[in-house]
Structure 1
């Protein structure tokens, strides 16, 4: 499993870059992106479209003219290029100024949840979700925010998040850890909107609770996941955290995300509470190992650099015209 994480900074993303990158996409994708009212939304959608295309070119040597994509009934995108459709699974998420893509080799198909029709057999069993750790409204309190979602939380989760004494900063990170895990799991299964999130429970009492990038690392207990009250077999949930610059301000936003991947029924389900505090932003003169150390599975990229690379590589690829 790998993750490409793209940090979008609107002031640096010029109109010239936007229009040149837009030319790399098929007519249908261009039309959809141009319908966005706000340019920042169009740019995020553009990056989301370029991510799997650059993946196919770099990792599998697929030329742009051979790239084919489709969506399941639940709107989960997947690759249909004949030579690789059975080999690659990917999923994309974005929130505010952060766009992330998780990808891996196609694994086994997870068992279905009772009463739900999954589409993992079409799109692969990997899912990712990311969210900015912040209250959405200036006047919201932490407790009132959590209570908005109480019907999608289990009694245990509500107690974990609201039991006194409350540390709002830690509680907010833990809330989004719980929420992104539920989202990533259902996206891995290919489940559409309307699924009852209270059927999935994340008990993080055995995980480190320091928060804000200080959670335990690989090898330490990261919590327990239950579905309909039972611990499923074969799942791996990997937490990641990132700090992202906010526009031209000298401030950073904090993001938390989870990758869910199904490994097979021979494996026990685990939660890996990675919290990446190192600066792993990609530079031209550093290798993956230099940048990320043991976290070479995650690349943190700037959108302008990523899109410039995409333009250069996809334009110069054979059969790109």
Structure 2
């Protein structure tokens, strides 16, 4: 690619995967506009599978702030605790990937306040970020059985605005406008186009 054209248009992307789901987030823009983008995929389940939700949530408390721990209190039903925990962990992972931090980053330095739709890092507001949150439900064949797996997905993209913005994608029509789900066969078909 011509170096002067590269300053005008580039594609920034990030890959994420967990268990049976692989994701790719991408954007196009000028060189400096496409570097801060991150994606996280977190399966909505306990690890190991036979662990109780309460025990699993407690094992993740070191990654959360006291405010975040209050969102997953024992007074909540198990499905709510697990969903909220996975949302917080996915948001944190997407953000640290977008800023280029290693996997050992102390996630408790970040705080996501759902009711107020705010994000903080080291006690300071994270300004200029767009966070998108959605779920993916996929069918996975295990022997003769088709099993549904649910994943919490989150992307973080630096937009440079004054405030951070949260977009909660619950409506499938809205999600279809910017998210595409491909099978392995479909991906293999489009692979040659990605290398052009």
TM tier, smaller: 0.7 to 0.9
CA distance in 1, matches of 2:108, 2:90: 13
1:299 alignment partner, one of 162, 175, 180: 180
- Report 1:201-240 matches (<5 A): 201-206=111-116, 223-240=117-134
Q: Is the 8 A contact 1:108 1:262 kept in 2?
A: no
1:271 is the counterpart of 2:150: no
The Cα shift of 1:242 comes to: 1.0
CA gap 1:314/1:134 in 2 versus in 1, 3 angstroms: closer
TM-score (norm 2): 0.86
Superposed CA deviations along residues 176-226 of structure 1, whole A, max 9, x for unmatched, are: 1000100100110011132111110011134xxxxxxxxxxxxxxxx2211
2:90 alignment partner, one of 177, 180, 194: 180
**Which residue number corresponds to residue 128 of structure 1?**
39
CA distance in 2, matches of 1:228, 1:203: 14
CA distance in 2, matches of 1:166, 1:232: 28
- Report 1:134-149 matches (<5 A): 134-149=45-60
CA distance in 1, matches of 2:50, 2:149: 19
- Report 1:94-109 matches (<5 A): 94-106=17-29
| Rg larger in structure | 1
Q: Which has the higher strand share?
A: 2
CA gap 1:314/1:126 in 2 versus in 1, 3 angstroms: closer
1:259 is the counterpart of 2:182: no
Superposed CA deviations along residues 60-112 of structure 1, whole A, max 9, x for unmatched, are: xxxxxx7xxxxxxxxxxxxxx95547622110101111111111124686xxx
Q: Structure 1: any 5+ residue segments left out of the alignment?
A: 1-65, 67-80, 110-120, 207-222, 279-291
- Report 1:193-204 matches (<5 A): 193-204=103-114
CA distance in 1, matches of 2:101, 2:90: 14
- The runs of at least 4 aligned residues of structure 1 exceeding 3 Å deviation read 81-86, 106-109, 292-295
Q: Structure 2: any 5+ residue segments left out of the alignment?
A: none
**Which residue number corresponds to residue 38 of structure 1?**
none
CA gap 1:175/1:307 in 2 versus in 1, 3 angstroms: same
TM-score (norm 1): 0.54
The Cα shift of 1:140 comes to: 0.8
1:308 alignment partner, one of 165, 170, 189: 189
Superposed CA deviations along residues 216-252 of structure 1, whole A, max 9, x for unmatched, are: xxxxxxx221111222210110001111001152321
Q: Is the 8 A contact 2:91 2:154 kept in 1?
A: yes
- Report 1:23-34 matches (<5 A): none
CA distance in 1, matches of 2:18, 2:61: 22
CA gap 1:187/1:303 in 2 versus in 1, 3 angstroms: same
Report the aligned-residue RMSD. 2.5
